[in-house]
A and B are shown apart, each in its own frame.
Chain A
Amino acid sequence: MAVSVDEVADAMYDLVAEYQGKKKFKASDLTKAMIEKFGGEVDKKFCKLAIRQLMDSGRCVYTYFGGSFIEVPHEEGAAGGS
Chain B
Amino acid sequence: MADSQRSTPLLDELKEGPWPSFVTQIEEMADEGKESCGQLLELLERSYNEKIGHWKHGGIVGVMGYGGGVIGRYSDVQDEYPAIAHFHTIRVNQPQGWFYTSDSLRTICDIWDRHGSGLTNMHGSTGDIILLGTTTDELEPTFAELTQNDFDLGGSGSDMRTPSCCVGPARCEWACYDTLALTQELTMHWQDELHRPAFPYKFKIKNSGCANDCVASIARADLSIIGTWRDQIRIDQDEVRACAENGMNIERDICGNCPTKCIEWDGNEMTIDDSNCVKCMHCINAMPKALRPGTDTGACILLGAKAPIVEGAQLSSVIVPFMKIEEPYDELKDLIERIWDFWGEHGKNRERVGELMQRVGLGNFLEEIEVEPVPQMVAYPRDNPYVFYEEYYEEDDEEDDEE
Contact = CB atoms under 8 A, between A and B. Distances in A.
A52 B194 CA distance: 12
B59 A63 contact: yes
Nearest to A75: B60
A55 interface: yes
Contact of B198 (A27, A71, A76): A27
B86 to A, nearest CB: 7
B244 to A, nearest CB: 58
Contacts of A55: 64-67, 196
Interface residues of A, number: 29
Interface in B85-137: 85-86, 136
Contact of A65 (B59, B68, B75): B59
A45 B59 CA distance: 27
A61 B65 CA distance: 7
B350 A73 contact: no
Main secondary structure of the interface of B (DSSP, over half): loop
Contact of B78 (A52, A65, A81): A81
Considering residues B67, B85, B157, B199, which has the most beta carbons from chain A within 10 angstroms of its beta carbon?
Answer: B67
B153 to A, nearest CB: 12
B76 A81 contact: yes
Interface in B56-82: 56-62, 64-68, 71-72, 74-79
A38 B172 CA distance: 52
B65 A82 contact: no
Interface in B119-173: 136, 156-159
B192 A48 contact: yes
A48 B198 contact: yes
Interface residues of B, number: 37
B198 A82 contact: no
B309 to A, nearest CB: 11
A68 B197 CA distance: 6
B64 A81 contact: no
Given A27-B196, A56-B64, A68-B197, A79 B59 contact: yes
B85 A81 contact: yes
Contact of B201 (A56, A67, A81): A67
Contacts of A66: 58, 349-350
Q: Which of B57, B60, B75 has the most CB of A within 10 A?
A: B60
Contact of B197 (A62, A73, A76): A62
Contacts of A67: 157-158, 200-201, 349-350
A26 B158 contact: yes
Contacts of B196: 27, 48, 51-52, 55, 62
Given A62-B66, A81-B76, A76 B60 contact: yes
Given A27-B197, A67-B349, A78-B74, A62 B192 contact: no
B255 to A, nearest CB: 51
Given A28-B200, A68-B67, A68-B158, A81 B59 contact: no
B86 A79 contact: yes
A51 B65 CA distance: 9
Nearest to B198: A27
Contacts of A80: 78
A44 to B, nearest CB: 8
A52 B193 CA distance: 11
A34 B397 CA distance: 45
A67 B157 CA distance: 6
Contacts of A81: 74-79, 85
Interface of B: 56-62, 64-68, 71-72, 74-79, 85-86, 136, 156-159, 192, 196-201, 344, 349-350
